[in-house]
Amino acid sequence: MQYQFIQSSEVNATCQAIDLAVFGHEVTTPQFLAWGTERFGMMNRMTLLQVLFNLIYDKFANGSRVSRGRQKFGDYCLDQGRSTLSPEALYSDITNHLPDMVEGSHNHVLTSKFSSSSQCIALQMLAENNTELSEDNRTDIALLLSSCTGVESADVPTALKALARVIAENEEVDDFLGMTGDEAQVWLESDPGLVGTAFRAFLARHGHRCIKELDLHSVSWGMDPHTLVQTLQVMVRHPSSYTSVKKVTSIDQALDSIRSQVTPKTKRSLKFVLPMCREAVVNREATKSQIVKILDGFRKAYRNLGQLMVSEARLPDADLIFYLKHSEIGELIRTRSPSLIAKAVRRKRLDAQIEATKFPEISVGLPRPISASESFVVPSDGSELVLQGTPVCQGMVTAPARIITDLKDAPTIQNGDILVTHSTDVGWTPYFPLLSGVVTEIGGLVSHGDTIILNATKGTVTRVESKATSGD
């Protein structure tokens, strides 16, 4: 990190590196930079020293934060032994545990901060003295970080592949493939042999994850593994989805593969910095898992509370509890206020409309929803279309695009598809072993009938075929 870059009043490699580390793509414009400079001023040497001191402190403190979090939240569950007797007791227990979420979130913020900061430093090293990041710089940072080992979120598809292999090797595999989703779930949950043991072990380790896992209203895999079971059936039918093994790339191998033109001195510096970058990714994902585990404890407790309130005629529908603030739930328990129930019903009615409303990633002034006329328009003549993005790994594949705009359509994913969606989280990972590529974007990109080339090395998506079909 060079001091003159930090002092620059122009959008340069430092700004671009920060954007990539925090946002995943470049967002800073000259106007944004001017506003930031006007508000906060330029970084001086004392501020720079303070930033560096905080980075060094976080480097050594984050490991212990992760360890303490594992000890405290590793098997997190709100104590409901006494609480299930009454809504008042369960509400009190939930209230007493709210500081756990604050602690878990604080740990994740700190590990994420160091992960972004160390990635930013590595990017600037790759850029050397250039004023802007090159395409090679962006590709190389993806290569250097994508081969981390021990990342908890990355263990989900790996563990799922292992589970699929166990099922495929079982003598009752044909029966499993012929079962309905409900029947297959019962078999996996009750099997006394290797299959049942592997399935229960997977849920014990990853059962707190799900799609939209930071939403209390979501249902985790441990609460309802139905979609997980359906995905396993598809995987077992396609051995290619669980036989592939991720290649582990060492620091030396990764550095030998970079295309950025760096000096031998910089390469040696990168060899020192990269282990910290990779460790930071591991710590960041570990604290993210801890947050989700805490949230899963709360979502189960709130669902139990909703059912208790229904049994005592305090709520007409247990699901309405997710449309009330925590303080409002307490007030409803105390007063049985009909106005609070009406408010929850109104919020639930608006939920689908709010979910469908999309906003620009960055707004200047009052945020304004994106209208249909502002959506991306794809040429209808079938001509080649190339979009530039930010790669997160290397390689190239040509396959059908599977556009998922609604989470309920995720089970339609077929083996070999390229998933194109707004964004993904760990809840999508059961489908990853089936996919040949993933593209996340904002808004519609191509129709369901298109074949696309995903070049993750260059960070491009190319439409090569258009099959116009009614209803697309």
What is the average pLDDT across 71-90?
80
Q: For residues 189 and 193, what is the distance between their CA atoms, to the nearest angstrom?
A: 11
**pLDDT tens-place string over residues 116-140:** 999 999 999 999 989 899 888 988 8
Q: Is the pLDDT of residue 79 over 70?
A: no
The mean of the pLDDT values for the chain is 83
Return the pLDDT at 52: 87
Confidence of residue 448 (pLDDT cuts 50, 70, 90): very low
Cα dihedral sign, 122-50-116-3: negative
Return the pLDDT at 235: 87
pLDDT more than 90, % of the chain:
46
What is the average pLDDT across 193-221?
93
Return the pLDDT at 82: 54
Return the pLDDT at 362: 84
On the 0-12 / 13-18 / 19+ scale of CB atoms within 10 A, 159 is middle
Confidence of residue 142 (pLDDT cuts 50, 70, 90): confident
**pLDDT tens-place string over residues 379-390:** 555 556 666 666
Q: Is the pLDDT of residue 346 over 60?
A: yes
Q: For residues 100 and 39, what is the distance between their CA atoms, to the nearest angstrom?
A: 35
**Domains in the chain with CATH codes:** 1-149+248-304 (no CATH), 155-243 (no CATH), 313-355 (no CATH), 382-465 (3.50.30.10)
Return the pLDDT at 449: 40
**pLDDT tens-place string over residues 257-278:** 899 999 999 999 999 999 999 9
Q: For residues 395 and 404, what is the distance between their CA atoms, to the nearest angstrom?
A: 23
Q: What is the pTM of this model?
A: 0.83
Return the pLDDT at 297: 95
Q: For residues 321 and 328, what is the distance between their CA atoms, to the nearest angstrom?
A: 9
